[in-house]
């Protein structure tokens, strides 16, 4: 039986980032993925690095997201140095655009919200937005510029991250499904994967939307109630060299430019189970919202469509921290923000596992919140 300091269940951007950070503490880590590492939600993501909340449900996440954005330049640089590969990281700022007759009022309300959260933003005119992007159309009536935001290319990021982790002696196994945990009393002592017992002082569940069913362990499933939320995406190649200079988004869609001239557009939010197929309605919805923002893209070539499964949770917030079983941790449920939150999540678990001072307030993301709700619900008279 092989022995490690840490066994991580899940080889997406969260699991790989944690392994990369833990290896910097000279901890021996193994990453176990049920399929090819990095080919689920991480591969399908757009790569926006934005701490701005999408809805009121996201407000508790904003401080953690903002901290992760601040960590990202160093995080990306460390990955690139260790892997000798690009992550596609760019910090060009982003535009949030508004269309309605009340666009200025909506923009100003959003500006107040962002500033209260400590997120840098400034109001700009529609004309200024067109100058800054080179592409927004006449339907845009007002805009915000968020100067600190950026993006990465997720497929480059996950490839570089896995390479960087291996360079720090992390063992990464694909096609290696974990079937059960091993335990000694109230302590987790490792896992069984592909019929092999693997001993580890710490086990971290980071299996994205598969976390709730990754291990046949009812108590663990109760603390990691993830579900798949499908997001369809597409990529365009503009004609004539028309390029987008930075991320542009509205309440209906977003556009993320790539360094090779492609523009990634997304996305849908669909409760479709584990079905990853592309639908005509989903792609049409993205294209309609895209052309509202940038009508010049009407002649662009549609070069790729794909879908991914985000790890949703009952409250749309991540699940981070210890469980009732000593040595067992959860790092999942990052929903639409896995790429952004990878930097802070990796640092958080480096601090938790190494026993250092924890620099994040993440009690609201504890796995215990779901178990506590189940207990309260069972105690409530019918």
Q: Give the number of C-alpha atoms closer than 13 A to the C-alpha of residue 173, restricted to the C-beta side.
A: 16
Distance, in Å, from the CA atom of 9 to the CA atom of 31, rounded to the nearest integer, reads 6
Between CA 338 and CA 347, with CA 36 as vertex, the angle to 5 degrees is 35
Specify the DSSP class assigned to residue 336.
T
What domains does the chain contain, in order, with CATH numbers?
2-77+154-226+314-379 (3.50.50.60), 94-147+228-312 (3.30.9.10)
Asked, as a colleague might, if the bond just before 267 is cis with ω within 30 of 0, I would say yes
Query: How many CB atoms neighbour CB 69 within 10 A?
Result: 22
212-250 b/e (C-beta count within 10 Å ≥ 16 → b):
bebbebeebbbbbbbbbbbbbbbbbebeeeeebebbbbb
Residue 377: its pLDDT value, please? 43
Residue 373: its pLDDT value, please? 60
Residue 26: its pLDDT value, please? 96
Give whole-number Cα distances, 2 to 168, 196, 270, in Å.
18, 9, 41
pLDDT in tens for each of the 382 residues of the chain?
Answer: 899 999 999 999 999 999 999 999 999 999 999 999 999 999 999 999 999 999 999 999 999 999 999 999 999 999 999 999 999 999 999 999 999 999 999 999 999 999 999 999 999 999 999 998 877 899 999 999 999 999 999 999 999 999 999 999 999 999 999 999 999 999 999 999 999 999 999 999 999 999 999 887 777 889 999 999 999 999 999 987 677 889 999 999 999 999 999 999 999 999 999 999 999 999 999 999 999 999 999 999 999 999 999 999 999 999 999 998 999 999 999 999 999 999 999 999 999 999 878 988 899 999 999 976 654 443 444 4
Closest to 164 in 3D by CA, of 346, 319, 358: 346
Distance, in Å, from the CA atom of 100 to the CA atom of 106, rounded to the nearest integer, reads 9
Query: How many CB atoms neighbour CB 323 within 10 A?
Result: 23
Residue 97: its pLDDT value, please? 97
Residue 241: its pLDDT value, please? 66
The pLDDT tens digits for 6-44 are 999 999 999 999 999 999 999 999 999 999 999 999 999
Residue 145: its pLDDT value, please? 98
Residue 379: its pLDDT value, please? 44
The pLDDT tens digits for 77-128 are 999 999 999 999 999 999 999 999 999 999 999 999 999 999 999 999 999 9
């Amino acid at each position: 039986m092989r022995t490690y300091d840490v066994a991580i269940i899940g080889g997406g951007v969260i699991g790989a980032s944690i392994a990369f950070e833990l290896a910097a503490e000279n901890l021996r880590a193994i990453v176990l993925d049920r399929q090819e590492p990095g080919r689920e939600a991480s591969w399908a993501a757009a790569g926006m690095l934005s701490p701005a909340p999408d809805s009121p449900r996201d407000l508790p996440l904003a401080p953690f997201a903002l901290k992760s954005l601040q960590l990202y330049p160093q995080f990306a640089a460390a990955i690139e140095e260790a892997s000798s590969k690009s992550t596609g990281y760019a910090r060009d700022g982003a535009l949030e655009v508004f269309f309605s007759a009340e666009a200025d009022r909506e923009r100003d309300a959003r500006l107040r919200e962002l500033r209260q959260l400590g997120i840098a933003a400034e109001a700009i005119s529609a004309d200024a937005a067109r100058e800054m992007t080179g592409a927004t159309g006449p339907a845009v009536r007002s805009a915000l510029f968020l100067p600190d935001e950026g993006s990465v290319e997720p497929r480059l990021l996950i490839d570089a991250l896995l390479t960087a982790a291996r360079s720090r002696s992390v063992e990464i196994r694909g096609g290696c499904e974990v079937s059960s945990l091993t335990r000694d009393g109230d302590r987790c002592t490792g896992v069984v994967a592909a019929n092999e017992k693997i001993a580890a002082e710490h086990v971290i569940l980071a299996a994205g939307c598969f976390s709730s069913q990754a291990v046949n362990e009812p108590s663990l499933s109760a603390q990691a109630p993830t579900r798949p939320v499908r997001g369809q995406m597409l990529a365009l190649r503009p004609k004539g060299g028309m390029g987008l200079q930075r991320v542009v988004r509205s309440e209906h869609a977003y556009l993320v430019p790539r360094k090779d001239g492609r523009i990634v557009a997304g996305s849908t939010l669909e409760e479709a189970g584990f079905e990853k197929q592309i639908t005509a309605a989903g792609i049409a919805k993205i294209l309609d919202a895209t052309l509202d923002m940038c009508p010049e893209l009407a002649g662009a070539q549609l070069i790729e469509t794909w879908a991914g499964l985000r790890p949703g949770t009952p409250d749309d917030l991540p699940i981070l921290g210890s469980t009732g079983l000593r040595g067992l941790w959860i790092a999942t449920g990052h929903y639409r923000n896995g790429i952004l939150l990878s930097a802070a999540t990796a640092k958080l678990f480096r601090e938790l596992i190494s026993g250092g001072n924890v620099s994040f307030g993440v009690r609201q993301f504890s796995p215990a919140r779901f178990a506590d709700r189940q207990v309260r619900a069972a105690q409530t008279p019918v």
